[in-house]
Amino acid sequence: MGAKTSITIKRQRYRPNPKKFRQVSYDRVNRVMTGAIRAFIKSVAEVLSSHISSGMTMGSLIPLARTVNAMEIAAFSSKGPQKGFTTMDGGYERDRYKNITEGIRAGKEAFKILRGSPYRPVFRFEFTPSVYQYIIHEFGFTNRWGQHVTAWYSMTQGQFAFLNYLDVHQREIAPEFREFMIKEVDTVRF
């Protein structure tokens, strides 16, 4: 009888890792959504920058900008505080000042960002102007002398920028195959 011969084979197999796939996909969508929100802020701020008076309207964007680390509205100047302003319910505050601080206070409740989780990736972004003057100027109005004041349409511009960003960056969302595969090496001896 002859010598005993053995054969050793190493084989590599790849199998999907659903948990990692969910996490990678979620992280990528989250990053793209954050970028789209920043594009929204930048676009809205560009429109509003030509209409700054007291800074209250622009100030209402600051809480949202802080939430997504957007620096687009970090520096802007106003003409200073103005005494008295109309509240969202239509009342008039004679002793309060229309200023950046009041805008920041109002802006804290102006947006909702829902990010879900890797197991339930539901993303939603809503922004509702929370400053009375912003709302009436956004859509235009006729003043008491019968003059029509042109609308700003900053929200329309912001929406366009948001959707455009999503369109341009949608390919960044899908993870590559190798990012969520697990490599297994087996040794088989005969």
Top-confidence residue, 58 or 78: 58
Instruction: Tell which residue, 24, 60, 10, has the closest CA to residue 187.
Output: 10
Q: Is residue 182 assigned to a domain?
A: no
Q: What is the dihedral of CA 129, 135, 138, 144, to 10 degrees?
A: -170
Q: Is residue 186 part of a domain?
A: no
Tell me, yes or no, whether 185 lies in a domain. Answer: no
Q: Could you give the CA distance from residue 190 to residue 184 in angstroms, rounded to a whole number?
A: 20
Smallest CA-to-CA distance from 113 within 48, 69, 179, 165 is with 69
The answer to the question of residue 190 being in a domain is: no
55 within a domain of the structure (yes/no): yes
Q: Which of 50, 130, 45 is closest to 89 using CA atoms?
A: 130
Q: Is the dihedral of CA 127, 133, 137, 143 positive or negative?
A: positive
pLDDT band (50, 70, 90) for residue 37? very high
pLDDT tens for residues 154-182?
Answer: 999 999 999 999 999 998 887 777 777 78
End-to-end Cα, the chain, rounded Å:
18
pLDDT given at position 75: 58
pLDDT at 57 (0 to 100)? 86
As a whole number of angstroms, the longest Cα–Cα distance in the chain is 115
Domain housing 41: 22-171
φ/ψ of residue 13, rounded to 5: -130, 150
Residue 11 lies in a domain: no
Cα dihedral sign, 181-182-183-187: negative
Task: Tell me the residue ranges of DSSP E strands in 134-173.
Answer: 141-142, 148-149
Q: Please count the structural domains in the chain.
A: 1
Contacts of residue 152, defined as CB under 8 A and 6 or more positions apart, other chains included, come to: 47, 48, 51, 137, 138, 140
Say what the pLDDT of residue 177 is: 72
Q: Is there a domain that residue 132 lies in? A: yes
Give the range with max mean pLDDT: 14-18, 28-32, 70-74, 102-106.
28-32
Q: Is residue 52 included in any domain, yes or no?
A: yes
